[in-house]
Structure 1
Amino acid sequence: MDVPQVVWWLTIAGIVGLLLFDFLVHVRKAHVPTLREAAVWSTLYVGIALLFGVAVFVFGGSAMGTEYFAGYVTEKALSVDNLFVFLIIMSSFKVPRADQQKVLLFGIVFSLIARTGFILLGAALIDMFAWVFYVFGLILLLTAGNLLKPSGEDSRSADNVVIRLARKLVRTTDTYDGDKLFTTVGGKRAMTPMLLVMIAIGGTDILFALDSIPAIFGLTQNVYLVFTATAFSLLGLRQLYFLIDGLLNRLVYLAYGLAVILGFIGVKLVLHALHENNVPFINDGQPVDVVEISTPLSLSVIIGVLVVTVVASMTSPWGRAQNVIASARRHAVEYLDIEVDPARRAEVFAALLAEEATLKQLPERYRARIREEEKLMTLLKRAHDAHAGT
């Protein structure tokens, strides 16, 4: 599909317009979105992405339409996985819930800019070197292997080298001043934790792009489709975060599903590289006659794996337990370190008590696991001690 330049500019203008609308209407005034607000706007953004896909089908043909939807679904699934890391980063920096919208929108904008750069770089490399598909395939296979490794919350630290460097170079404060990025302390200008958390999210976004972009290039090499599928998967991510925040930790098998998808696309890329082969030490530099995986089959596999993964996670007893554990941990931190309003603190502590009551009703094997989490038990005890002292 040869996309006219005017269509490119109209698409970019539309995406920028949606981001500006999101900021001016929802984010500029700090607040916690209601479940209804998050649901309505998440549905709207998904609807826009689906309508765009229908337009691709109509004007570009079924092949291009299928490639777009395969790319969009894959990128959307990867973006949901990224929300786990965003949640950990914001918890580590104790970002007030009302201010999390601004952090998320910054992450989306930075991610879109970073991914656009990687898309242009990837397209240029593909045009110049056919062997790049081997590299992309290897990256995805290694990423899939890493996703299968067991990892806990502590393995995803927000205190990376970028944050440590920022703390050394710029005067920083330990407390927030609303959603301001800079404040004045003792007559001197200082950086607030709000800017630090944005730096942390921006740094992790670059790492996310290293598996996200090869994955979508494994489904389509059309730069316009790669860009639009990536952009529409990111739009509405802020609303989706508040919509499924309470379910994120319940998706206990999501990493396994993504590992299967990335591994599958990695194999697809390697097969394509063999089909287009010109590397001298492989088959004397001649193309290898291999079966390539079609885009419709890819889309079917991706959707099938995601459906199985989500259903298995939502029906898993351990998934339900993980969800309650994560909620209890978040409310304990919110009670101890974030909220200062007495009424809100009372609501948070009541929610924490309800979650603890649910934990006590879990089967013994799950309660035994919880008792082994020393940090969690200490955190819950601190919350009760603080409440007793009020």
Structure 2
Amino acid sequence: MDVPMWVWFATIGAMIAILVVDLAIVDHPWSKKSGPKEFGMKQAAWWAAFYIGIAILFGFGLWYFGGGTVAGEYFAGFVTEKSLSVDNLFVFYLIMGSFAVPKKYQHEVLLVGIVIALVMRGIFIAIGAQAINAWSEVFYLFGAFLIYTAIKIVRDQVKGDSHEESDYTDSFAVRMVKKVWPVTDDYHGARLTVKLDGRRHVTPMLMVIVAIGVTDLVFAVDSIPAIFGLTQDPYIVFTANAFALLGLRQLYFLLAGLMDKLSYISWGLAAIMVFIGIKMFLHALHENGVHVPEVTTGLSLTVILGIMTITIVASLWKASADKKKLAAGSETEGEDAISRK
């Protein structure tokens, strides 16, 4: 799809405007009376619905101006990136807990994290697009990387390893910052640095942002090859990523109570990565003159939506079954205690 430069600028400008409006309404940065407030579930639900609605309307706009194939590639990319962003939220959730970030400051940290993620992915999209244009065999590399990542996810799940075992307060990037500046023990509002006893100190808030920035880099490395397996159009790649990230902080508060219930989400993401990795191999073979069937955009969208639906339903069913099992166990223990008396 040939996208004029003015459309790129208009799209990026509109996204910046949405973030500014979000910041103005939610965080009240220019109000001296209203400081940071805790993000409520109802407020998060409305904003999450708003961002998803904008993403869907944008997809219909692509359908109108670019056709069904373009819109299908966008929706497949958006669903994939949104699914990957849920895994990103799990890590954000653990980072927040590791650094004991007060809830009223969490949405500010997430906003910074989203901006960093947008910049990171913009850089990787530019690099990826240039690599694909110069060397079609890069699809083999991207496909192998996605399948390797999927295998690693499955291996960690089978072993019982998870994000919880990572100590984000002692990561390499955090240790490097601590070597340069002293870190205060307590938060000083949302400030990143503070002057104590005549010396500049950094606050735990800055350390959280550093940890999230490194996490964004890691997830950008995973997500960009995944979406390039669905479309090679830089504009669709960028907008699908951007709309998946916009509203991420609202989704964080909306899913905070479900983090422990989505136990199969990693399995679903692994399956999607394997599917896209195979699709990349087939596309690379086709580009090199080998007659192999290619996966259509419609099939990609159907498979991705199907995998995520099955994953979410299975996770919620397991959570419900575990809850009933736990309740039944508690009742049995109570009856045993009464019988012993």
Question: What TM-score, normalized by structure 1, do the two folds share?
Answer: 0.79
Of the three residues 163, 182, 190, the one matched with 2:174 is 163
Matched, 1:244 2:210: no
Whether the aligned pair in 2 keeps the contact of 1:30 and 1:101 (CA below 8 Å) is no
Q: Is contact 1:275–1:289 with CA below 8 Å preserved after alignment?
A: yes
RMSD between aligned residues = 1.7
Shift of 1:238: 0.5
- C-alpha change, 1:319 and 1:50, in structure 2 (3 Å) is farther
Q: Give the structure 1 partner of residue 305 of structure 2.
A: 303
Q: How far apart in 1 are the matches of 2:266 and 2:105?
A: 28
1:156 CA displacement: 3.0
The structure-2 alpha-carbon separation of the partners of 1:319 and 1:74, relative to structure 1 and needing over 3 Å to count, comes to: farther
SS of the residue corresponding to residue 249 of structure 1 reads coil
1:140 corresponds, among 139, 146, 154, to: 146
Q: Which residue of 286, 289, 299 corresponds with 1:275?
A: 286
Q: 1:242 to 1:319 in 2, by over 3 A?
A: farther
Q: Is the 8 A contact 2:261 2:319 kept in 1?
A: no
Does the 8 Å CA contact 2:150/2:274 hold for their aligned counterparts?
Answer: yes
Quote how far apart the aligned CAs of 1:87 are: 0.6
Counterpart residue type for residue 212 of structure 1? S
Q: What is the CA-CA distance between 1:95 and the residue it aligns to?
A: 0.4
Q: 1:41 to 1:128 in 2, by over 3 A?
A: same
Alignment of 1:358-369 (within 5 A): 361=327, 363=329
Query: 1:25 & 1:143 partners in 2: Cα distance?
Result: 39
In structure 2, runs of 5+ residues without a counterpart are 30-34, 334-341
Task: Tell me the secondary structure at the aligned position of residue 46 of structure 1.
Answer: helix
The match for 1:112 among 109, 118, 124 is 118
Distance in 2, Cα, partners of 1:156 & 1:310: 25
Aligned to 1:31: 37
- 1:77 matched to 2:83? The reply is yes
Q: Secondary structure at the match of 2:201?
A: strand
CA distance in 2, matches of 1:320, 1:241: 24
| Residue in structure 2 matched with residue 338 of structure 1 by the alignment | none
The answer to whether 1:64 aligns with 2:30 is no
- Superposition pairs of residues 334-345 of structure 1, within 5 angstroms: none
Deviation at 1:146, TM superposition (A): 1.2
Once the 2 structures are TM-superposed, how far is the Cα of residue 361 of structure 1 from its aligned partner? Answer: 2.9
Q: How many residue pairs align between the two structures?
A: 320
Name the CA distance, whole Å, in 1 between partners of 2:63 and 2:129: 23
**C-alpha distance in structure 1 between counterparts of 2:328 and 2:186, whole Å:** 37
Contact 1:250–1:319 (8 Å) recurs in 2: no
Deviation at 1:152, TM superposition (A): 2.8
Report the Cα offset of residue 318 of structure 1.
7.2
Mean CA deviation greater in 253-262 or 311-320: 311-320
Give the SS at the match of 1:67.
helix
Distance 1:292 1:141 in 2: 18
Task: Give CA-to-partner distance per residue, 1:347-368, whole Å, 9 cap, x none.
Answer: xxxxxxxxxxx9963647xx9x
Q: Structure 1 residues 319 and 41, CA, compared in 2 at 3 Å: closer, same or farther?
A: farther
Q: What residue identity is the alignment partner of 2:318?
A: S
| 8 Å contact from structure 2 (residues 73, 236) kept in 1 | yes
Deviation at 1:191, TM superposition (A): 0.2
Contact 1:249/1:319 (<8 A) preserved: no
1:84-123 matches, within 5 Å, as: 84-123=90-129
Distance 1:96 1:319 in 2: 32
The one-letter code sitting in structure 1 at the alignment partner of 2:24 is L
Structure-2 separation of matches of 1:196 and 1:319:
39
Distance change >3 Å, CA 10–CA 136, structure 1 → 2: same
State the percentage of identical aligned residues: 47
2:227 to 216, 232, 253: 216
Counterpart for residue 162 of structure 2: 152
- How many Å apart are 1:243 and its aligned residue? 0.9
Tell me the amino acid that sits aligned with residue 211 of structure 1. Answer: D
Unaligned runs of 5+ in 1: 278-286, 322-357, 368-390
